[in-house]
Amino acid sequence: MSVVLEFDEKAARAVEAMYKTPDVVAQRAHILAMMNPQPGEAVLDIGVGPGLLAYDLARMVGEEGRLVGVDVSQAMLTMTRARLAGLSQAEVIEADATALGVESEAFDLAVSTQVYEYVADMTTALGELHRVLRPGGRVVIVDTDWDSIVWHSTDHDRMTRVLKCWDAHLVDPHLPATLGAQLRKAGFEVQRCEIIPMLSASYQPYSYAAGIMRSIHGFVRANGERHGLSAEDIQAWHDDQLQLIEQGGFFFSVNRYAFVARR
């Protein structure tokens, strides 16, 4: 059973800080290159989050274009509205992936990063995506498969149990394995899929790896007991990572999978 994360103001600020790290900035640049937004296009950002990608997209489509960001988190919406203030071509609305709240066949381009892995009804969500794109419209979807993680620990079994607990915050922690087939079933032509690795071969406190370690630590402290993790287990896992950092033995890698498809 998944445990829904609450993206309140504190969580939204933590996400924003993680998304500003150099490795996530590089990921965002890669996604923008895959999207190839053009001046004058209408773009939909599904799960707009803190609005960093949306800001770039709004600037790239220009005043003759249109950018709409949707999210269910009030904290994220507030943050993004502030970020996009002054960009007349941009708007942000409250909606989720299964009911996007925008008109049909209105967008040339859509993007969703780290969102669909939280969605229980993917059939409806991809149907909505198909509805809002114009014929020939394109989409870039990025999600993580947590089976791809390589994270050094001196206790492999304990690390496995911590990550199993972390999996519970998602509806589908392995969505990329089936996403291509689901897109084709929904009426999309999948044009390509690329891996975007998030790699830290050593510890850098200003990085995705550092941010996600903090997030996982907080989540397992709150939810570990129901997944068979004692407070002692969690503390030992965290202490082990701190010792590896001190000793120069930290290593973390996980893959995002970016799908490019066309309606």
**Domain extent listing, the chain:** 9-145+170-199+253-262
pLDDT of 3 > 80? The answer is: no
pLDDT digits (tens, 9 = 90+) for 170-191: 999 999 999 999 999 999 999 9
Instruction: From the options 3.40.50.280, 1.10.645.10, 3.40.50.2000, 3.40.50.150, give the CATH code of 9-145+170-199+253-262.
Output: 3.40.50.150
CA 253 distance to own-chain centroid: 16
pLDDT computed for residue 188 by the predictor: 98
Which three-class secondary structure string do you get for 126-193? Answer: HHHHHHHEEEEEEEEEEEECHHHCEECCCCHHHHHHHHHHHHCCCCCCCCHHHHHHHHHHCCCEEEEE
pLDDT digits (tens, 9 = 90+) for 101-120: 999 999 999 999 999 999 99
Assign 10 a pLDDT band (cuts: 50, 70, 90): confident
- Amino acid letter at 152? H
- By the 10 Å C-beta count (0-12 exposed, 13-18 middle, 19+ buried), 134 is classed as middle
pLDDT digits (tens, 9 = 90+) for 215-229: 999 999 999 999 999
Question: What share of the chain in percent tops pLDDT 90?
Answer: 92
What distance in Å separates the CA atoms of residue 170 and residue 47, rounded to the nearest whole number? 15
